[in-house]
Amino acid sequence: MTDYDVLCVGNAIVDIIARCDDDFLVDNHIIKGAMNLIDADRAKLLYDRMGPAIETSGGSAGNTAAGVASFGGKAAFFGKVANDSLGDIYAHDIRAQGVAFDTKPLTQDPPTARSMIFVTPDGERSMNTYLGACVELGPEDVEEDKTKGARVTYFEGYLWDPPRAKEAIRIAADQAHAADREVAMTLSDPFCVDRYREEFLELMRSRTVDIVFSNESEMKSLYQTASFEAGLDAFRKDCRLGIVTRSEKGSVLVRGQETIQIEPLEIGELVDTTGAGDLYAAGFLHGYTKGRPLADCGALGSLAAGLIIQQIGPRPQHSLKEKAQQHGLG
């Protein structure tokens, strides 16, 4: 059995990133700051209307896997692409990042998923995602040697949209727990939480998941409250280890009655928030699987998130291992 630090499970998506102004979002009926699911026709329409773009492998959990690898950790990924040009791009890119990716591609339609990401001048990203081949991820794609060999299996809440992925996640969680490993998830998006609130709470309360990542908006949506304190109190009770990111306010870690405040990384210029939460999870999980104190795990998360928002795109352009060493976190 091959050991991994983190196995990430998620939607394998090619990100197509372009800058735009707020009027473009209004004119094209795009909800700012959210992940909007779209069909093939709207994907073509938006692609035709968008300006110059950068194409890169993306997807929330894939970004986290790439981040773990950049820290020097051993990462693996489950995600479905098609046997097409975008699928080839995705597979090449994630393997080039040092991530083990062995999920068999589809040999027929639908095509590889893609997300048109529009970045406004304030750095906010609005995602318009055609899931394509992602919806075909299923139980047959669960590799038991990886689920039992990974210290933490981490999956994205977005996987609750394609139905067969739910079964795959539950199988992977059972296999991980049978090997005395841990399971983590990210709530992904406030609109995702709205769709699956009761199911997410069940995953947490049943201990199907041990570690939960959320941002402040997602946590408030989960508990349908406007109060951060009330949401955090409920979150603390429902998950063994909870992490709440708060943008420029840093993050908060809760475990039982323990509360740890994490400061954000001071940055020069906010360029693009795409992947901030994904890279925070990468830094945190890298530290966690190496047995670091929770405060160090949070600091590594803040470092990765702070670095990624100062560039275009969600994949690290420089070694996070070297950056951690430079910041005294190596």
Model confidence over 308-317: pLDDT tens digits? 999 987 888 8
Give domain status of residue 120, yes or no. Answer: no
Give domain status of residue 175, yes or no. Answer: yes
Q: Name the amino acid, one letter, at 25.
A: L
Q: Could you tell me if 196 and 155 are in contact, meaning their C-beta atoms sit under 8 angstroms apart?
A: no
Half-sphere exposure for 95 (CA within 13 Å, toward CB): 9
pLDDT the model gives residue 330: 83
Spatial separation of the C-alpha atoms in residues 272 and 310, rounded to whole Å: 6
Give domain status of residue 283, yes or no. Answer: yes
Full residue range of the structural domain in which residue 197 is found: 4-10+60-103+137-326
Q: Strand 54-58's sheet: what is its strand order?
A: 35-37, 125-130, 113-119, 13-19, 54-58
pLDDT the model gives residue 57: 83
Give domain status of residue 25, yes or no. Answer: no
Phi, psi (deg, nearest 5) at residue 43: -60, -45
Question: In angstroms, how far is CA 157 from the centroid of its own chain?
Answer: 8
pLDDT the model gives residue 125: 85
Give domain status of residue 169, yes or no. Answer: yes
Give domain status of residue 76, yes or no. Answer: yes
Stretches where the chain sits below pLDDT 70 are 1-2
Structure tokens at 100: 């083990």
Kindly tell me the number of DSSP H helices and DSSP E strands found in the chain.
Answer: 12, 14
DSSP string of 40-102, one letter each residue: HHHHHHHHHH--S-EEEEE-HHHHHHHHHHHTT--EEEE---BSSHHHHHHHHHHHHTTEEE-
Give domain status of residue 31, yes or no. Answer: no
Q: Tell me how many domains the chain contains.
A: 1
Reported as type and span, the H/E element at residue 301 is: helix 294-308
Q: pLDDT digit string (tens) for 192-213?
A: 999 999 999 999 999 999 999 9
Strand partners, 245: 215, 251
Give domain status of residue 204, yes or no. Answer: yes
3-state secondary structure of 282: helix
Domain CATH number, residue 245: 3.40.1190.20
pLDDT the model gives residue 313: 78
pLDDT the model gives residue 34: 85
pLDDT the model gives residue 1: 52
Q: Could you tell me if 305 and 279 are in contact, meaning their C-beta atoms sit under 8 angstroms apart?
A: yes
Interacting residues of 199 by C-beta distance below 8 A, sequence separation 6+: 160
